[in-house]
Amino acid sequence: MHLKKFALLYSFLLAAGLLILSFKDILFIYSAESQVANVGHHVEAKSETFYKLSGSYVEKSLSPAIDYAVDNRPYTFIPNYSCKDGCHPIGSKITIFYHKDKPQEVLVSSFGDMWKYKIYFLIMMGVLLLTALPYIYYNTKKQPSSESNG
């Protein structure tokens, strides 16, 4: 396989993968309404292991409780992601997306909710690139150029 063919295939896989991972979010945002909501408080989530130089320790992580209103009816949304410090300070403003007919289904415009799996995918594709490029480069240099005249 030539280096140019690999670069083309890799670019296609990267774009297709990001599009597939983003498809659900894109459809949701396209048909949703948005508003700026407040982080009212934090809710204890699962226990997680955190690491410091002195060693590891287990502590409860916190999820932000996001307060918003639709048609003067209050709602609170607790996202699936959590952090040691609650991810967002209490009182901070966050942009959310929701459907008018199902206001309890929310997409939070934050790194943890929208970008986490896309970053994992980019890391995996980077590892693939770093492991495959030397192999392809070595095999491309090894082939004699007279074979293409065949």
Over residues 100-111, the pLDDT tens digits come to: 888 888 888 876
Closest CA to 47 of 57, 60, 30: 60
Asked whether residue 150 is domain-assigned, the answer is no
Are residues 103 and 44 part of one domain?
yes
Enter the pTM of the model: 0.64
Over residues 90-144, the pLDDT tens digits come to: 899 988 999 888 888 888 887 666 777 788 888 888 888 788 777 777 776 666 6
Are residues 20 and 6 part of one domain?
yes
Element (H, E) at 83: none
Are residues 61 and 1 part of one domain?
no
Residue 93 three-state SS: strand
